C-alpha cells in the first residue's frame, strides 16, 4: 500500500480479531516502524512490551483490562507502549514523552495496516494491575496498547470496510486555519 492509502485504511478493529498466530518477522516489522519515528532531541523514550500466546494474552487481559474490554483476549498478540517521562525532554515546561510515543505508536499502527493486520489503540486498563502482571518498573508509565491480529475473516479491506464507511471526522476547514487563527483553511479536496 502507498502511505496515504494506508493512512486512509487504518481503523480500530477490535471486533475483527482472530486467533491465528502472527509471524515473529511481522511483529519485528511493526516494532521497527515504531522505532524509526522522530522524537524530541532524538530521545526515543518509547518502550514496547509484546505479549504473545493465548495463555499470556488471556492472563494480562483478565487481570488488567476492564470488563468491557475483555474481547481483547481473542488477540494472538498485544503490544503495550510505555515510557519513563524522565527519559524525554520538556520544552517551555511542556512534556514531550506522550507526543513522541504517539508518533511511534502511529507508525506501528500504520505498519500493521500495511501488512494487512488488525489493530485497535486502547488505553483504558487498570494501570496498577498492568504494572504488576507485566513487571513495569517504577517511574515507567503505560501509555497505550493495541492488539495485533489477522482479520477474523476475509481480507483486511473487507474487515475494515464497515468501520471506514461509518468513520466520523471533522473536515479540514474545521481543523485548519489559513494565515492566522480563525480563518478556515478552505480545501478543494472535499474532505
Ligand atoms: C489515545 C487513544 C485511546 C483509545 N482508547 C480506547 C479504549 O480504551 N477502548 C477502545 O475501545 N478504543 C479506544 N480508542 C480507539 C478510538 O475510539 C478510535 O481510534 C476512534 O474512535 C477513531 O476510530 P478509528 O481508529 O477507527 O479511526 C483509543 C484511541 C486512542 C488514539
For the stretch 26-64, pLDDT in tens is: 999 999 999 999 999 999 999 999 999 999 999 999 999
Read off the pLDDT band of 97 (50, 70, 90): very high
For the stretch 98-127, pLDDT in tens is: 999 999 999 999 999 999 999 999 999 999
**What pLDDT score does 188 carry?**
62
Residue-wise burial string across 157-175, b where 16 or more C-beta atoms lie within 10 A, e elsewhere: eebbeebeeeeeeeeeeee
**What pLDDT score does 187 carry?**
72
Residue 95 pairs in a beta bridge with 90
Residue 52 pairs in a beta bridge with 77
Which residue is closest in CA terms to ligand 1's atom 11? 122
End-to-end CA distance of the chain: 21
Tell whether ligand 1 has an atom less than 6 A from the beta carbon of residue 163: yes
Domain covering 3-189 in this structure, CATH number: 3.40.109.10
Longest CA span, the chain: 55
Read off the pLDDT band of 189 (50, 70, 90): low
Which residue is closest in CA terms to ligand 1's atom 25? 12
State mean pLDDT over 181-188.
86
Give me ligand 1 centre to Cα 13, in Å: 10
Q: Probe ligand 1: pick from 12, 17, 161, max atoms within 8 Å of CB?
A: 12
Read off the pLDDT band of 186 (50, 70, 90): confident
Read off the pLDDT band of 1 (50, 70, 90): low
Which residue is closest in CA terms to ligand 1's atom 7? 122
What is the Cα–Cα distance from 149 to 163, expressed in whole angstroms? 16
Q: Probe ligand 1: pick from 61, 122, 162, max atoms within 8 Å of CB?
A: 122
- In the chain, where the domains are located: 3-189
Read off the pLDDT band of 138 (50, 70, 90): very high
Amino acid at each position: 500500500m502507498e502511505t496515504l492509502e494506508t493512512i486512509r485504511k487504518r481503523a480500530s478493529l477490535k471486533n475483527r480479531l482472530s486467533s491465528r498466530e502472527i509471524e515473529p518477522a511481522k511483529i519485528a516489522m511493526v516494532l521497527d516502524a515504531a522505532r524509526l519515528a522522530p522524537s524530541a532531541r532524538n530521545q526515543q523514550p518509547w518502550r514496547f512490551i509484546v505479549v504473545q500466546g493465548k495463555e499470556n494474552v488471556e492472563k494480562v487481559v483478565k487481570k488488567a483490562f476492564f470488563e468491557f474490554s475483555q474481547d481483547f483476549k481473542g488477540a494472538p498478540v498485544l503490544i503495550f507502549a510505555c515510557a519513563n517521562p524522565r527519559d524525554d525532554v520538556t520544552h517551555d515546561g511542556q512534556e514531550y514523552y506522550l507526543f513522541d510515543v504517539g508518533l511511534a505508536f502511529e507508525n506501528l499502527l500504520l505498519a500493521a495496516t500495511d501488512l494487512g493486520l488488525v489493530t485497535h489503540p486502547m488505553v483504558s486498563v487498570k494501570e496498577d494491575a498492568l504494572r504488576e502482571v507485566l513487571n513495569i518498573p517504577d517511574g515507567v508509565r503505560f501509555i497505550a496498547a493495541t492488539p495485533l491480529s489477522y482479520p477474523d475473516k476475509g481480507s483486511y479491506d473487507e474487515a475494515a470496510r464497515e468501520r471506514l464507511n461509518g468513520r466520523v471526522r471533522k473536515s479540514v476547514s474545521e481543523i485548519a486555519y489559513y494565515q492566522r487563527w480563525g480563518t478556515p483553511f478552505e480545501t478543494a479536496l472535499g474532505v
